[in-house]
Structure 1
């Protein structure tokens, strides 16, 4: 039952504090209070709150009263995203700046989620980018419900997501088909050579790294993790440590087949004392150098990851079968592999 206490204020007037305390077997007692200028108001509030708290989940909802979606984002980043990639953390941190982050988590509705998506779309953002917002809102809400027992309305979230997809406000990114032309690669190669002549000892051997990416189909992070002890000269194979995987971030070590060109590039790398890696460079520095080079060469919309696309396509053009290409590229499935396959008919090897 609620207790109403009359209190005298400094100016001589009175206020009334309504306090509700509910004892629960085997659990901490729940207590909350509120002060009103009139007794009738205190009694009305106490009566209404007692009825609300007696509803199924009422006390749980009261526990998280005032907690916003931003609070959930902060807790998720602290407890579950310590090893998350930079792009994932940036998506969540950007979400924290939008009005939806200030909504109380137990009051978040499908309408508010839809409004956020519409606002983002009207600002010129593509459906794939809006989808990333919705994905991370969903991950955070599901974590809040499962790990922290927050009173989250997941049905409302799923309803909003279904509506947004049906209206085209969210969607998957378009399959990328960018391949560098021979002329673009020669222009980039010439730029790297000029840079190497100017500062031969201070620069990353970007020409070799570019050619190795095309010859091996390895990502830049994977290239910089390959070690001399991972190499099997006779079998023409090498281990890649922590290969990218949709669900397994660490410990996914896999062996891949090397082309003759890839092996030749490895063989000409110097072996520094005390350094186990074949390409002992920072992948972020490689990315920065690549962006600066393509900009300097006037080449638009060519990413370093497009070299993996190029490598995959060249393997098919050389006549390798799907299962053989997978031994080089380590793609998880044909469905994923085919997105990177945009063949040039004139380069197909006739049998």
Structure 2
């Protein structure tokens, strides 16, 4: 039976001492609330489902996310950690004052709906993928809190409602005219590294972060391969190089202004601390797109283009996956968009073969 004690401040403290369970107490504004909590808690103890919730009631989402960013995010890829920091900022602004115990599935579902109806600075609605990333972070936070931090929570509230659909994958392809103008512009840039990076992306399908972070020892020109250790999915992979890609890397590694002590393939100017970091080309890429009128072209679209060309060249899904690093055939197919006119040409060749055999 619970013991109810009125405190000097006028509140009511309920204390439960039950064999086999740690002593549990909680303070309430009214005696009725204390009695209701006591009955519920003793009932949960009898049924063997009681969870000590005081830790989850004290910890706010803001405090939990800050701990997550400090302890968990650094174990992930830098790009993922940066993305999580942005998602955490949004979550804290809207839900940060809630305790973990108070964040129900209904509250989080309302957050989902509100986010999907918000407009970005560009005037477009917040993308499904942005909200999915925020919910994924929130879900993993609850998993870590329950399993590793031993925070008293009955379940993960994010697992109990519908998530936004992934949305339609991008199918942006470069036309021959666009590619001609793009390559002419990057090749004519004052820094040749921009041209090398763009052309290597089109030749290999590597991500921008994989290219910019390359060290010289990762590029083997004799065997015509690049060894990647830091990839988006965390796996290492070896990328074969075409003759064109090999020639581009040979030019980059022979860059006459390369400092002797710089191990980066594509390097920037020294920072305030004297250290050189990867060549930062994002701003230059954005300016160049505007100049060419290619506003809807993302750098990642070059990866789409490269992967599609590998498929169009006759490589199997397994061979393309080994080069691109896609873990599932489903994801690979989302990134592979064949031109209908190229498929028409293949159909015509099949018809010609049938006619010759017939």
Residue in 2 that maps onto 1:11: none
Residue in 1 that maps onto 2:199: 211
Change in Cα spacing, 1:28 to 1:235, as seen in structure 2 (3 Å) is: same
Post-superposition offset of 1:302: 0.7
Name the count of aligned residue pairs.
319
Residue in 1 that maps onto 2:159: 158
Q: Which runs of 5+ in 2 are unaligned?
A: 119-124, 269-276, 351-358
* Larger CA deviation: 25-34 vs 275-284: 25-34
Post-superposition offset of 1:120: 1.9
Post-superposition offset of 1:316: 2.4
Give matches, 1:33-182, under 5 Å: 33=27, 44=32, 46-54=34-42, 55-56=44-45, 60-82=52-74, 83=76, 84-98=80-94, 100-123=95-118, 124-154=125-155, 156-161=157-162, 165=163, 170-182=164-176
| Residues 248-275 of structure 1: per-residue CA shift (max 9 Å, x gap) | 3xxx332221101000111122253122
User: Hey, what's the Cα distance between the residues in 1 that align with 2:229 and 2:59?
Assistant: 41
User: Hey, what's the Cα distance between the residues in 1 that align with 2:141 and 2:152?
Assistant: 13
Residue in 2 that maps onto 1:279: 266
Give the alignment partner of residue 186 of structure 2, picking from 173, 176, 192: 192
Change in Cα spacing, 1:212 to 1:30, as seen in structure 2 (3 Å) is: same
| Residues 204-232 of structure 1: per-residue CA shift (max 9 Å, x gap) | 62112111111121112211333333333
Name the TM-score, length of structure 2 as normaliser: 0.76
Residue in 1 that maps onto 2:272: none
Q: Please provide the CA RMSD for this pair.
A: 3.2
User: Hey, what's the Cα distance between the residues in 2 that align with 1:153 and 1:5?
Assistant: 29
Change in Cα spacing, 1:331 to 1:112, as seen in structure 2 (3 Å) is: closer
Change in Cα spacing, 1:29 to 1:4, as seen in structure 2 (3 Å) is: closer
Q: Which runs of 5+ in 1 are unaligned?
A: 8-14, 197-202
* Larger CA deviation: 333-342 vs 46-55: 46-55
* Larger CA deviation: 148-157 vs 221-230: 148-157
8 Å Cα contact 1:108/1:153 also seen in 2: no
8 Å Cα contact 1:30/1:59 also seen in 2: no
SS of the aligned residue for 1:60 comes to coil
SS of the aligned residue for 2:337 comes to coil
Give the alignment partner of residue 239 of structure 1, picking from 198, 204, 227: 227
| Residues 292-314 of structure 1: per-residue CA shift (max 9 Å, x gap) | 21022221211111111111122
User: Hey, what's the Cα distance between the residues in 1 that align with 2:290 and 2:279?
Assistant: 17
SS of the aligned residue for 2:153 comes to coil
SS of the aligned residue for 1:239 comes to strand
SS of the aligned residue for 1:255 comes to strand
8 Å Cα contact 1:224/1:283 also seen in 2: yes
